[in-house]
Amino acid sequence: MAIIEKKESGTFTLQTRTSTYQMKVDRHGMLLHTYYGAKTDESDYSYLIMPADRGYSGQPGDLGNDRTYSLDFYPQEYPVYGDGDYRITGLKANLEGQVPALDLRYHSSRIMDGKYRLEGLPAMFAGAGEEGISTLEIVLKDRYEELYVHLLYGVYEEEDVITRAAVIENHTGKTVELKRVMSACVDFAEGGFDLIHFYGKHAMERQMERRALPHGITQISSRRGTSSHHHNPFVILSRPETTEDQGACCGFSLLYSGSFQAQAEVDQLDQTRLVMGINEEEFCWRLADGERFTTPEVCMVYTEEGFTGLSRRFQRAFHQRLIRSPWKDRLRPVLVNNWEATYFDFNEEKLMNIARQASDLGLDMLVLDDGWFGKRDSDNSGLGDWKVNEEKLGCTMKELAEKVNALGLSFGLWFEPEMISEDSDLYREHPDFALQIPGRSPVRSRNQLVLDFSRKDVREYIEQQIFRILDEANITYIKWDMNRSIENVYSAALPEGSQGEILHRYVLGLYEMSEHLLERYPDLLLEGCSGGGGRFDAGMLYYAPQIWCSDNTDAVERLKIQYGTSFGYPMSSVSAHVSVCPNHQNGRETPFKTRGICAMQGAFGYELDLSKLSEEDKEEVRKQVKVYKENYKVIQSGSYYRLTSPWENHDVTAWSYVAEDQDRAILAAVYTDLHGNPAPVRVRWKGLKPDAVYEVEGSSYTGAALMNGGYLLPVPKCNYDSCLLIAVERQA
């Protein structure tokens, strides 16, 4: 049984393949958290909670004079504001016009086969009747008001993950103001954790940082309206001794694409609490009588197999249980995007020159990026006017797609549906469609404003423009971009008291539009983008099987970007391209071979003018495309291993993929520094069959030899040289 309820002790124990999670309803009706860690039995672990009379730690009002019981230091499953717990909380709410205060007690519970669903939000799924997947719902009720909190737990035994979400239900007869609603809370009975998170900036996302948690509150968050380039809604708590291959660690991924926060607090007793959910800073939700509010989902993994074990569980679970696209197991098209080749300066002739070269070199798709619509010869105008500029193209979009298709290529198109330029027909006709504060000059970014996607009429208008173009032309791929953070959050369509709902309603609107798009065009390959990796989160993977990882296409800097991304996301979701040198972001020169090897870590493509390549580079393109297509199953669905860290090893960064049946593996390495009289560089493979014999570069090795003795990498011939090695099991 994945979920075990023991009524005599009041415990609920959730069991995955290697982890156990437990909570308990105590004699006061409080739902306490008792255990999360390595798999164990269903004993009542509340014996680890020590009652004590601690100064300045008060008691719930119905406990009388029992000073040894305080929610200020007891571990709780879903802590709330106003019941004597002064730590970070999961829920802060009040009846309209009253002081926030809650006192939640156990009301009911039920265990169900299958996985719960969340209305309007991405969530991990399960097929009908699948075994090993179950749901626990625990309902808490306020002691004084008819306010209910439904705590939802999804247990995936085989994938080794647990999901969490909460639903707030109002039957008070009045409006309730939700001022803070977290998706999950986990209380650990000890401290001494390291926090690992993934910070960054535009063109340098998901840089790994590890530090010991101090006493007090540590917060990782975004208030930019998106998950952001700057922080990612994925964090890890680990023991200081945890390494890539061994040690305890616990990961938390929020399936949400808007402003978020993850907070960790080490309290007066060295206990550690972690909460995660929607950022409360600009959030206030008016929940009318009879309404429900649903939080985004959190996916949790605990393992004692180090960061590799953690990553493999997240990667496998998201690939199998989150990504719905029919493209998730197909060979993705190897594409060329014209952006860095032409920017806004293109016409039909330039595009077709690139397309003809793409066809000759074995690529599968041409993607037309920004500049094809409205008055759009720079990034200062035209957004919102999704009408094909036929004068610029020299033909209709339908005709262009047909010409590309005639070369044996499919055709893709870039959109930025969430944005509006003040210099646009749409803004001149509907200035109220933009998020901006009346009477004030708006905060501009990239000289554009944000459309109010909290409004249904705005979403429907943009949908109609996009659908008209997709209906007319054979477009099989869309790159959905978003190129600024959200500020001046005011909607002309919402009443004053509901302005705190806009950012969340915006995200719900984004998800609704994505759902409508995929329902209408079920075979469409959708790629997410927000100036690169500004919305690279698990929520978007529910709609888009791949996300443009970063606007930084430099192969060397991509090593760190893709390294950090790999901790919590499938590498098949990482969209990566070979671009021109000197690189347009930092001016670095790298070998064409190295650029290809780095880009082959994920969904592979090119972002340059193929017609301007040398014959030598064109031959390299043919080789890269051939290698990628021959090995795509290993790259898209194989086990991914980080063999060296670019943060710790400044000489070489190496990684590998191993096929599901372990009969084939790929090892790639990039030299990031060179030395005179260099020492040999040895890399140990991972994930092979110890007793199998593998052929590598014409020589034979046992899996045990490659994993324990390792493999000597070839000596680099130039700066940023690289190698790609393929191990194939020798058949008896």
Where along the chain do the CATH 2.70.98.60 domains lie?
3-321
Nearest residue to 271 via CA among 362, 331, 185: 185
At 732 the pLDDT is 72
Which backbone phi and psi does 537 adopt, to 5 degrees? -145, 165
In a 3-state reduction of DSSP, which class is residue 165? Answer: strand
Spell out the alpha helix ranges (H) of 204-345.
306-321, 339-342
Mean pLDDT throughout 491-500? 93
What CA–CA distance (Å, rounded) separates 579 from 573? 19
Of 530, 646, 555, 670, residue with least CA distance to 208: 646
H helix count then E strand count, the chain: 14, 38
- What is the SS3 assignment for 600? coil
Q: What is the pLDDT of residue 219?
A: 98
Which residues belong to CATH 3.20.20.70 in the chain?
335-637
Is 90 exceeded by the pLDDT of residue 64?
A: no
Bridge partner residues of 421 (DSSP) = none
Q: What is the pLDDT of residues 283-329, one digit of tens each?
A: 999 999 999 999 999 999 999 999 999 999 999 999 999 999 999 99
**Is 312 in a helix, a strand, or coil?**
helix
Pull the structure tokens for residue 237: 């708590």
CATH superfamily of 3-321: alpha-galactosidase from lactobacil brevis (2.70.98.60)
pLDDT tens for each residue of 27-38: 999 999 999 999
Q: What pLDDT band is residue 712 in, cutting at 50, 70 and 90?
A: very high
Q: How far apart are CA 277 and CA 262, in angstroms?
A: 7
Rounded to 5°, the CA angle 684-686-689 comes to 115
Q: Which tokens is 186 given? A: 């986990």
SS (H, E, C) 568-599: CCCHHHEEEEEECCCCCCCCCCCCHHHHHHHH
Q: Is residue 731 over pLDDT 90?
A: no
86, pLDDT greater than 80: yes
φ, ψ of residue 560 in degrees (nearest 5): -75, -40
At 610, list the tokens.
């193929």
Q: What confidence score (pLDDT) does residue 572 get?
A: 96
Task: HSE, CB side, 13 Å, CA atoms: give it for residue 488.
Answer: 20
pLDDT in tens, 359-408: 999 999 999 999 999 999 999 999 999 999 999 999 999 999 999 999 99
> Alpha carbon of 619 to those of 360, 527, 616, 631, 709: distances in Å?
11, 28, 5, 19, 35
Domain 652-729 belongs in CATH node 1.10.8.60: no
Residues of the chain with CATH 2.60.40.1180: 652-729
Q: Which residues are catalytic?
A: 481, 551
Section 586-608 average pLDDT: 97
* Pairwise CA distance, residues 425 & 434, whole Å: 13
- C-beta neighbour count of 173 within 10 angstroms: 10
697 torsion bin: left (phi>0), alpha (psi -120 to 50), beta (else): left
Q: How many CB atoms lie within 10 A of CB 27?
A: 7
Q: Domain spanning 335-637 has what CATH number?
A: 3.20.20.70
The band of 165, judged by pLDDT with boundaries at 50, 70 and 90, is very high
**Integer CA distances (angstroms), 620 to 592, 593, 598, 615, in order:** 7, 7, 14, 9
Q: Look at the block and give the residue holding tokens 């290697």.
A: 18
Give pLDDT, residue 1.
72
> What are the pLDDT digits (tens) for 435-456?
999 999 999 999 999 999 999 9
CA distance 381 to 211: 44
Half-sphere exposure of 12 (CA within 13 A, CB side): 22
Residue 509 confidence (pLDDT) above 80: yes
